[in-house]
Amino acid sequence: MRKLGLPSLLVGLLALSACHSPGTGSAAATSTSPPVAVVNGTPISRDFFEFYVHGITRGKSSADLTQAQREIALDNLIRAQLVAQVADKDGLTADQDTKFLLELSRLNVLQQRVSERYLKDLKPTDQELRAEYETQVAMMPHTEYHVRHILVPTEPFAEKLVAELDKGAKFADLAKRESMDSSKQNGGDIGWLTPDRAAAGLGKPFVDALTALKPGQYTEKPVQSSFGWHIIYLEGTRDLPPPPYDNSVQQQLVRIVEEKKFKAYVDGLMKDAKIEKNI
């Protein structure tokens, strides 16, 4: 069983409780089921308690828990209700930012519920999953690059080192002597990189210069990143095979296909809606 009282769930509970003043009709207070606790006059209904337990235990009811676990779960709700009452007393529920956060939470929950209902009978077929697999594979990098680099603080210094390379200096030796990157200990070797990984860490200019090289070549013109100036050397390349079409990949594909289906549904709502923009 998952640990009772996950912070994210408590945040959700606080949001629910803060939507209304204590005892004035919150989701926990308006249920017709008998209360499992009353907090400063505000009841926590058994239905609400069971809903909470179901969420933190992935489908169990309170009857499936030990007495100690039920008490922990109930204490979590009581604590959340007390904090929500403090928020209401201190005027936080009237704060504009709080109202906006609560509204965003409401929209998110409703979107999730509509998505679940819409996709309930639209489970992706194997044909759809395989088609999405081919789409994703086509967008993946197919080549890895074995890279060395020398990192220095200024462009003139980098140009000076390029001139030394042109005269026959060994790249690894120059990296060990002059680079300010930790890879200098390995002669500037930073291992195998895909273009997307390189772009995320070092930027697009670095990737553009790298992918233009042939094995054994270095950049004649230094490349700038947020770290400084790079001289890049390409040791070699190798093919990068796509991931196999196995269960773990299929689970990811299910999420992608469902997201696309729901997006198409919402796109249809956008198309049919009367929308006025004033931004």
**CATH number reported for the structural domain that contains residue 53 in this entry:** 1.10.8.1040
Residue 75 falls within a domain, yes or no? yes
**Which residues in the chain land under pLDDT 50?**
1-25
**Do 258 and 131 reside in the same domain of the chain?**
yes
Q: Which domain holds residue 233?
A: 146-239
- Residue 2 placed within a domain: no
Do 130 and 267 lie in one domain? The reply is yes
Which residues are within 8 A (CB) of 155 and not within 5 positions of it... i.e. 6 or more apart?
Answer: 222, 224, 229
Within-domain flag for 120: no
| CA pair distance 198, 15, nearest whole angstrom | 41
Half-sphere exposure of 244 (CA within 13 A, CB side): 3
Give the model's pLDDT for residue 79. 97
pLDDT at position 57 = 94
Shared domain for 268 and 130, answered yes or no, is yes
Residue 110 lies in a domain: no
Q: Please indicate, yes or no, whether residues 131 and 257 belong to a single structural domain of this protein.
A: yes
HSE-up of 153 (CA within 13 Å, CB side)? 1
**DSSP label at residue 274:** -
Same domain as 199, residue 77: no
Does one domain contain both 231 and 248? no
Confidence (pLDDT) at 129: 98
Any domain includes 235:
yes
Co-location of 87 and 172 in the same domain? no
The model's pLDDT over 71-118, given as tens digits with 9 standing for 90+, comes to 999 999 999 999 999 999 999 999 999 999 999 999 999 999 999 999
Count each helix (H run) and each strand (E run) in the chain, helices first.
11, 6
In a domain, 117, yes or no: no
Q: Cβ neighbours of residue 189 under 8 Å, at least 6 residues apart?
A: 146, 147, 148, 172, 183, 235
Output the domain CATH number for residue 219. Answer: 3.10.50.40
CA count, 13 A, side-chain hemisphere, 150: 30
Does residue 115 lie in a domain region?
Answer: no
Tell me, yes or no, whether 248 and 222 share the same domain.
no
* pLDDT score, position 31: 72
Is there a single domain that holds both residue 252 and residue 229? no
Total domains in the chain come to 3
150 close to 241: Cβ distance less than 8 angstroms = no
In a domain, 112, yes or no: no
The pLDDT value recorded for residue 27 is 59
261 and 132 share a domain? yes
Query: What local confidence, expressed as pLDDT, does residue 30 receive?
Result: 65
Q: Are residues 262 and 233 in the same domain?
A: no
Q: Give how far Cα 69 sits from Cα of 9, 76, 147, 226, 245, Å.
A: 16, 11, 54, 51, 41
**Same domain for 99 and 38:** yes
